[in-house]
Structure 1
Amino acid sequence: MTKTLQELIDASIFLSTEYQAVLAELSQGADWDVDFSAPSFTLQTTPPVTLTPYLLGTESASRGSFVWSWQELGHFNPRVVSAAVQAKQAGERHEVSELTTDELPLEDGLARRLTLAAKAVTGLYAHYPARAGGNITAWLLLDGPEFELPRLTEQRMMQVIGESLTTDTAVDHNLAVASYAKLRGAHVEWDTDATCVVTVHDGAQRFWFDDHQITGVEPAEPSVGEDELRELEHQAQTHREALLEDRRAAVAQAEQLGEQQRVESAERKRREREEAAAAASSASEREEPLPSELSREEIEAPEPEQPEGDVAVPASEVRDPDRPFDQEPTSGPAEPGRVETTVLPGHSGDAATAGPQASPHPNTTAMSRIPDPEFAAAQPGLQDEDTVRDTREPVAAEPAEPAAEQPVLRDVSEDTVAREQAERETVVARETVAGPGAAEDDISAPAVVDGQEVETNEQAEKKGKKKRGFLSRFFDL
């Protein structure tokens, strides 16, 4: 038979209120302890009261859901979760999805509504919301001999119904009144859907309904006698015993399902470990194994590559662009250009015609332009090989070992020797300043001092500017 969650709530609401009143008298607001392994729920009263707890499920505010305990049967004592299993079985019979869904999103009052519905199918009508910390509340059903109820009286019945109607939990009051009378062994006689008479052993009350809501209550004449009331009380006891048998069967099923869940959980964990180990092994195989020993070349960090053309050299090897004579000597024939003039050793009586001794400035190194052979042959006095010999050498080359000269015998007069000597001195003096081959009045040719061309003051004045120093030339000032 199909039922709804609200119908189960309406069927248990009045009897639940009566049991909760008994629990309030037992607890008196005292602290409590719960032990699911025992299982036991102890109220720290004087004397302490120990009841049997049944865990329906947990409400998690942080998770935002209610989880039935039958989802994790392997973690609890089978007796503790037997009521939850019983509620699930009833939900399957009556097609109540809220009782068969393992986790439900939280709604206002959902956990209490689920607990009230579970009471109708388990026969356990006392509940306790136990705060477990961390915004988690464990909803428990409680049982024990302390919940043995006395026979229902007219006054007690009116107190319980009046207390229940202070909330809006009950929707169908007709169903709530009929269910309460049946569970408590009272007699109900319906005249119409709008009115009924409820008879207990000490009197009767007439209830008036409008659209399944109680609109009035008044005393009435009993409809049945004491014998019929005893029979109804016996039927109520039989119903409670049937629910108890269902709960005992639920304990056995919870134990079986719990063992099955433990096996499945162990198998799942084993597969996860194997998969993790296989993944780790596969990852290690893909990685290149580390060598047992590393060579010095492998340990040392490689030197960073330098861009092409950006190579550091010692300062001693840096060539000064202002020095034109720092090239390495060449093995090929010397080309016409600027070279150093070396005086060959001759007879002690010969006078030097070139070099520092022949220069009017003895502290400077005399440099000269070496013209081509035809031009050199045309110069006066330069054909006399017994007096002067020009040697073309690379700058950095060692001076050649002088060869022994053969004396040349010539007949010359004193006037000729003196005239040639004077001409040579004039040529040497002029070459020292302007270089060989320069005209006597040519002051534009640069002078050469210590291998550097320098500009004379006369040349600077002729060009209309002063001679610039090194910084002026470097920065183009």
Structure 2
Amino acid sequence: MTKTLQDLIDEALFISTEYQARLAELTGDSDWSVDFSAPSFTLKSDPSVSLSPSLLGTESEQRGSWIWSWQELGHFPDEVVTAAVQAREAGESLGVQELTTDELVLSEGLARRLTLAAKAATGLFAHYPATAGGGVRAWLLVDGPQLELPEPTVNRMGRVMAQALQTDTAVHHQRAVDSYARLRGAHISWDTEACAVITATDGALRLWFDEHRISGIEPAEPVVDQRELARAAQDAQKHRAASREDATRALAIAHREAEQQRRAREEAEARRVAATEAALTEQSGQPIEQTEGVERAHADGGNAPFDQEPRHDAEPGIVSMHVVPDEAEESGQTEKTREEHVPAADVPAQAPAADATVSGPDEAVTDQHPIVEEYTAPIESEEETHEDRRTALERLRAEQQAEGERSGTSRPGRDERSTGATAAGQRTPQRDEAPYAEPVSEQEEAAEREAARAEDGSKKKGFFSRFFGL
């Protein structure tokens, strides 16, 4: 059997109106407070009244949406969200999409309509819209022995129906009247679809309908005796008991799903932390052993340029420039090392050469390597591709080769890298400016993408921020 949201609203409207009238008698103009950890909803009247709250969801004017409290379980005690889960389960069984969609775009009266439908699904018929600030209102179902209604009478039921019809919320009045009579424990009999008689302990009412709407009400003679009225009251009790059993099953579902979602959130957080730590490790300046040149240097016994000790002639305030020996020199073909000492004050205000090292008082030569600088430099654009970097690298090498031919000097080759450092007041070379940077490997690109995703995820709002419109 399938129903619509309006069907559930019609079934709950009349009895909801009666319960709201009873709640108004208790609250008056008193303040209230809610503690979901207890859980308790306290009316600060004289004497104070404490009821059991069930959090259905929140509506946020700023966000422009309604969010069911079952969207992310585990943030509230299971018993607090049981009614919302029970409404969702009923929505899945009856095919009511509004009860199974975690977030809905706000429209006029949507929160009240969803609350009325949830009442029909849960058997809890009193609600309180609690203002949470910032244009957010939390809709609660409340329950307690203080809300118990007296025995039904036709006079009381007639006033309730007349009051409810003023809101123009009900559409199918036959369904609304039939549900109200059965939920209240009164007896209802239908002569035709256009006429029904409600019998209670104090008499009876005849109702006329025209196109599913009440067109008239008049006193009538009771059509059943006290035995039938007692049976109708028992049927109402059975309905309430069935609702409590559904609530017990919903509580078990809420507990199970809360544990699953809590574990999933912990695992996601662990993955995010791991991705962040991996990104920070790569940016910390430690040697990255993923390129052939670095692996070769380590294999040769730690003779990588960034592993060398400071030169003996390095002095404070002096820039020492030299050419790192190439493979030919390592095999015995030595070449005279050119050294040039330049006072620090005479160093041009430009980025230092790739083979420059800087020392200061009590300061060791930096162990930063151009390859490490390439990997740890900020990404200029996410759209930059591997082929773009290769093209830029080839262009830079061609320019450096031409400059070397004009000046009559040579530059270190691909495996002739030396320590890169930045003098005081000079700018650190960026990614595209690194003269001897190799293309980033696929592993590095994957790590960068993972770090970017982790950073983006950290900016997303959490459940409480979304739920309460923060």
Structure 1 equivalent of residue 122 of structure 2: 122
Structure 1 equivalent of residue 225 of structure 2: 225
Structure 2 equivalent of residue 166 of structure 1: 166
Alpha-carbon distance in structure 2 between the residues aligned to 1:290 and 1:188: 94
Structure 1 equivalent of residue 10 of structure 2: 10
Q: Does 1:48 align with 2:45?
A: no
Q: Kindly state the Cα deviation for residue 243 of structure 1 after the two structures are TM-superposed.
A: 0.3
Q: Kindly state the Cα deviation for residue 301 of structure 1 after the two structures are TM-superposed.
A: 7.0
CA change 1:265–1:187 in 2 (3 A) is same
Structure 1: segments with no counterpart, 5+ residues? 306-477
The one-letter code matched in structure 1 to 2:33 is: D
Q: Kindly state the Cα deviation for residue 207 of structure 1 after the two structures are TM-superposed.
A: 0.8
Structure 2 equivalent of residue 459 of structure 1: none
The within-5 A match list for 1:39-118 is 39-118=39-118
CA RMSD of aligned residues (A): 2.1
* Residues 55-80 of structure 1: per-residue CA shift (max 9 Å, x gap): 00111111111111111211111110
CA change 1:128–1:290 in 2 (3 A) is farther
Alpha-carbon distance in structure 2 between the residues aligned to 1:77 and 1:122: 18
Structure 2 equivalent of residue 273 of structure 1: 273
The within-5 A match list for 1:187-202 is 187-202=187-202
Q: Kindly state the Cα deviation for residue 303 of structure 1 after the two structures are TM-superposed.
A: 2.6
Structure 2 equivalent of residue 244 of structure 1: 244
Q: Kindly state the Cα deviation for residue 281 of structure 1 after the two structures are TM-superposed.
A: 2.5
CA change 1:284–1:8 in 2 (3 A) is same
Q: Kindly state the Cα deviation for residue 112 of structure 1 after the two structures are TM-superposed.
A: 0.5
Q: Kindly state the Cα deviation for residue 287 of structure 1 after the two structures are TM-superposed.
A: 9.3
The one-letter code matched in structure 2 to 1:302 is: V
The one-letter code matched in structure 1 to 2:78 is: P
CA change 1:34–1:291 in 2 (3 A) is farther
Alpha-carbon distance in structure 2 between the residues aligned to 1:287 and 1:214: 83
Residues matched between the structures, number: 305
Give the structure, 1 or 2, with the largest relative contact order (CA under 8 Å, sep 6 or more): 2
The one-letter code matched in structure 2 to 1:216 is: G
Counterpart secondary structure, 1:58: strand
Alpha-carbon distance in structure 2 between the residues aligned to 1:84 and 1:296: 72
CA change 1:140–1:300 in 2 (3 A) is farther
Q: Kindly state the Cα deviation for residue 52 of structure 1 after the two structures are TM-superposed.
A: 0.2
Alpha-carbon distance in structure 1 between the residues aligned to 2:113 and 2:287: 58
Structure 2 equivalent of residue 136 of structure 1: 136
Alpha-carbon distance in structure 2 between the residues aligned to 1:135 and 1:287: 53
The one-letter code matched in structure 2 to 1:20 is: Q
Give 1:302's match in structure 2, choosing from 347, 352, 356. 347
Counterpart secondary structure, 2:73: helix
Alpha-carbon distance in structure 2 between the residues aligned to 1:224 and 1:285: 89
Alpha-carbon distance in structure 1 between the residues aligned to 2:86 and 2:309: 64
Counterpart secondary structure, 2:222: coil
Alpha-carbon distance in structure 1 between the residues aligned to 2:307 and 2:139: 58
CA change 1:120–1:286 in 2 (3 A) is same
Alpha-carbon distance in structure 1 between the residues aligned to 2:307 and 2:136: 51
Structure 1 equivalent of residue 24 of structure 2: 24
The one-letter code matched in structure 2 to 1:84 is: A
Which structure features the higher share of helix residues? 2
Counterpart secondary structure, 1:215: strand
The one-letter code matched in structure 1 to 2:151 is: R
Q: Kindly state the Cα deviation for residue 284 of structure 1 after the two structures are TM-superposed.
A: 4.0
* Residues 263-310 of structure 1: per-residue CA shift (max 9 Å, x gap): 1111011111111222232344599989998963456573369xxxxx
The within-5 A match list for 1:31-42 is 31-42=31-42
CA change 1:296–1:120 in 2 (3 A) is same
Q: Kindly state the Cα deviation for residue 42 of structure 1 after the two structures are TM-superposed.
A: 0.3
TM-score by length of 1: 0.61
Alpha-carbon distance in structure 2 between the residues aligned to 1:156 and 1:217: 14
Q: Kindly state the Cα deviation for residue 40 of structure 1 after the two structures are TM-superposed.
A: 0.2
CA change 1:275–1:26 in 2 (3 A) is same
Alpha-carbon distance in structure 1 between the residues aligned to 2:309 and 2:42: 65
Alpha-carbon distance in structure 2 between the residues aligned to 1:240 and 1:26: 23
The within-5 A match list for 1:239-388 is 239-284=239-284, 296-298=317-319, 302-303=347-348
Counterpart secondary structure, 2:74: helix
Aligned residues: percent identity?
A: 56
Which structure has the bigger radius of gyration? Answer: 1
Asked whether the equivalents of residues 154 and 198 of structure 2 are also in contact (C-alpha less than 8 Å), the reply is no
Alpha-carbon distance in structure 2 between the residues aligned to 1:75 and 1:278: 30
Alpha-carbon distance in structure 2 between the residues aligned to 1:287 and 1:198: 86
